[in-house]
Chains A and B, each alone.
Chain A
Amino acid sequence: MSTYKVPTMAEMAGKGETPEVLFWVGCAGSFDERYKAVTQAFVKILNKVGVSFAVLGPEEACTGDPARRAGNEFLFQMQAVANIQVMNGYEVKKVVTACPHCFNTIKNEYPALGGNYEVIHHSQFLQQLINEGKVALKGGGEFKGKKITFHDSCYLGRANDVYEAPRDVIKALDVELVEMKRCRTKGLCCGAGGAQMFKEPEPGKKDINVERTEEALATGAQAIAVGCPFCLTMITDGVKNKEKEAEIKVYDLAEMIAKDMGI
């Protein structure tokens, strides 16, 4: 019996090996009960396709994104510099991550601190695997013919101009992709960016995630696809708030692909 493998950079280095790509798991991917399923799904895909990858495991630390956006530059740089030391120590060249916040920080902000890597988001990675025919989609899975809407996360979309990769991944599933009124460059935030994930919202008349969820529900989709751990939490909470858990599910792209692959 062969099981899924999750090699760490330390283990591989011990064997004198270097993986092609480092999978940056992120804090939500490591600790969030719901979001761990996304990490597991992505790792299964990597195994199935035979991608040479490793994770940092216990050596990974928060990229520092929420600290930086909350104004604490010292803390951000402490985290960043420590992470860069670890990654440079393993001579990391390429990084893939499912979290747009980690993606943005490592790709755009680590170079100024000495961390230069090719960084891609898992939506782009999955798109490449699909285009190269490495992911064998069955197309007849539970999503076939269903209406799916995609929620653009700010740090993937506007922050880094990645709009089509996640949509191409969804379309590969033989589903009907329906767009919300505000999408792509005009996509509405889930409410969690800029460290809002870690505090209560300021006083207002409505929560942002509820506003966004209402828009998703208005499309009549049976599932909302996301590509960000914070968006997943916020939109899932929004669906609960509207008491629509029975009618509409919230998935990460990697989960949808893994489900279709039957893994």
Chain B
Amino acid sequence: MSFLPQLVFLIIFGAAGWFISKRVKFLRRNILLGKKTERNDQPEARWKTMLLVAFGQQKMFKRFIPAILHLFVYVGFIVINLEVLEFVLDGVLGTHRLFGPYLGSIYLAAMNFFEFLAVAVLLSCVVFLIRRNIIKVERFTKPEMKGWPAMDGNLILFIEIILMVAILTMNSTDQLLAERGVEHYLAIGTLAFSSMIQPIFEGMSDGALIFIERFAWWFHIIGILAFAIYVTYSKHLHIFLAFPNTWYSNLKPKGEMVNMPEVTNEVNIMLGIPTDAPADPPAEIARFGAKDINDLSWVNVLNAYSCTECGRCTSECPANLTGKKLSPRKIMMDVRDRAEEVGKSIDSGGKGLEDGKSLLGDYISKEEINACTSCNACVEACPVNIDPLSIILQMRRYVAMEESGTPAQWNAMFQNMETSFSPWKFSPSDRFNWAEKVKEEEMK
């Protein structure tokens, strides 16, 4: 017996593992370009949110048809990976269907279930491709989806279809060979789905079948490893990051904006209120608000890497719906793309954040952030609890406090508030005038 296939398998498996770990380090470093923030409170609520929203797909079910199709792919992904465990062990040990003899009828039932899922995944991916390319569901055809994002979406679906075809081909030829009593192949019983495609292979010689079976086996396992690497370059990262992303969800009321304690200190000093701020302020005062990714929190950047560009946010954004330039999905994609750019630049010895570019200006325009009504529809819509609004509001803070670049009408509103304590230009002494009429009215 030759150990060559085992050796080849181990080398491929090890190389994939090494490469993936390198990618994970790159992504982790990019996410941590964001500022420190504490999100470890209420662990029980966090586990519960993760269980419901990520594991349980709770928010997906606001739209039933894509939710069901997505559920098939999701369950298929998790369950079929159990089979991959056998693949890996077979690959290492040089065995074939390692668990088959031990599990007997349970093994047959499991294989049939895997095949059912493989077919469900395959059909769901076909429907997804149709929705993207033939029906052209509106949220997949927005301007930010042109080019690579559209290609990325289609590639993922295409790869998943090919992988499922490989599984079914492998099972089909494997059982034909077992029926013919070819050495090494184990008859496990009737497989409901792959037996249907057996007529395609029936006329072939044993040698041809063994070739196809081995090819499908290697194709599937190498395909999965290659796909795992591809995922680290793709919007498909959500399959892993959805879990930490929901764990680090904002658990506060959505309407609450994060306080800026550095401003509070100055306000207290101006108003003559004693503060408990440290006597000597930090040497370097950070920027107010966000101009680039390092001004955002690392949770914002994690959000960006968790986004799978489904566009539910954008399809419910009142600004986008009425033709404004703002698209919450684009905000997330821009944050990710900028983090990638900075990360690559750092790794190649480039200037990193000091490359003369910035998130606000080079990726996101003021027109976009100025169109937001802070209505939280995007936050509510996101199936994995991404918060585009937090990023928009931090950029507004930068524009207002570092650039004094807010729209003129807002500056007028600021002036009114400063001088008459109301966003409108009314005399503060008239504030209570509304009561005069009602005070004269007889109580009925």
Contact = CB atoms under 8 A, between A and B. Distances in A.
Given A67-B417, A70-B414, A204-B322, A189 B373 contact: yes
Interface stretch (B46-54, B208-216, B433-441): B433-441
Interface in A52-67: 55, 57-58, 60-62, 64, 66-67
B438 A30 contact: no
B259 A113 contact: yes
B397 A73 contact: yes
Contact of B443 (A2, A71, A82, A192): A2
B26 interface: no
Interface stretch (B82-90, B196-204, B418-426): B418-426
Given A30-B422, A194-B373, A55 B435 contact: yes
B168 interface: no
Nearest to A44: B438
Interface residues of A, number: 80
Nearest to A154: B375
7 contacts: A31-B430, A72-B414, A73-B400, A199-B407, A203-B324, A208-B318, A263-B444
Contacts of A62: 417, 421-423
Contacts, number: 244
A108 interface: yes
Interface string A17-29: 0000000010101
B398 interface: yes
B441 A58 contact: no
Contacts of A72: 400-401, 406, 410, 414
Contact of A4 (B376, B410, B443): B443
B443 A47 contact: yes
B23 interface: no
Interface string B250-274: 0011111101100110111011010
Interface in A128-165: 154-155, 158-161
Contact of A43 (B253, B271, B435, B444): B435
B321 A154 contact: no
Contacts of A43: 435, 438
Contacts of A109: 256-257, 259
Q: Which of A25, A48, A188 counts the most B-chain CB atoms under 10 A from its CB?
A: A188
Contacts of B398: 71
Given A58-B432, A81-B267, A193 B373 contact: yes
Contact of B268 (A5, A36, A79, A81): A81
Contact of B370 (A39, A202, A212, A262): A202
B377 A188 contact: yes
B256 A104 contact: yes
Instruction: Pick from B271, B423, B440 the residue with the most CB of A within 10 Å.
Output: B423
Contact of B441 (A4, A73, A113, A262): A4
Interface string B126-141: 0000000000000000
B410 A195 contact: yes
B397 A108 contact: no
Interface in A31-47: 31, 36, 39-40, 43-44, 47
Looking at A1, A71, A107, A204, the one whose CB has the most chain B CB atoms below 10 A away is: A71
B396 interface: yes
Contacts of A188: 318, 321, 377
A8 B439 CA distance: 12
Contacts of B322: 191, 201, 204-208, 211
Nearest to A30: B431
B63 to A, nearest CB: 11
Interface string B372-416: 111111011000000000000100111111000011011011100
Nearest to A230: B373
B356 interface: no
Q: B322, B380, B437 — which one has the most chain A CB atoms within 10 A of its CB?
A: B322
Contact of A206 (B257, B323, B409, B426): B323
B421 A61 contact: yes
Contacts of B421: 61-62, 79
A51 interface: no
A161 B379 CA distance: 13
A199 B409 contact: yes
B289 interface: yes
Nearest to A212: B318
Please provide the 8 A-B residue pairs with the shortest distance between their CB atoms, ordered closest to farther. Answer: A159-B255, A71-B400, A194-B374, A205-B323, A71-B396, A61-B421, A189-B375, A204-B323
B258 to A, nearest CB: 9
A5 to B, nearest CB: 7
Contacts of B346: none
B148 to A, nearest CB: 27
Contacts of B280: none
Contacts of B370: 199, 202
B5 to A, nearest CB: 54
A141 to B, nearest CB: 14
Contacts of B437: 40
B367 interface: yes
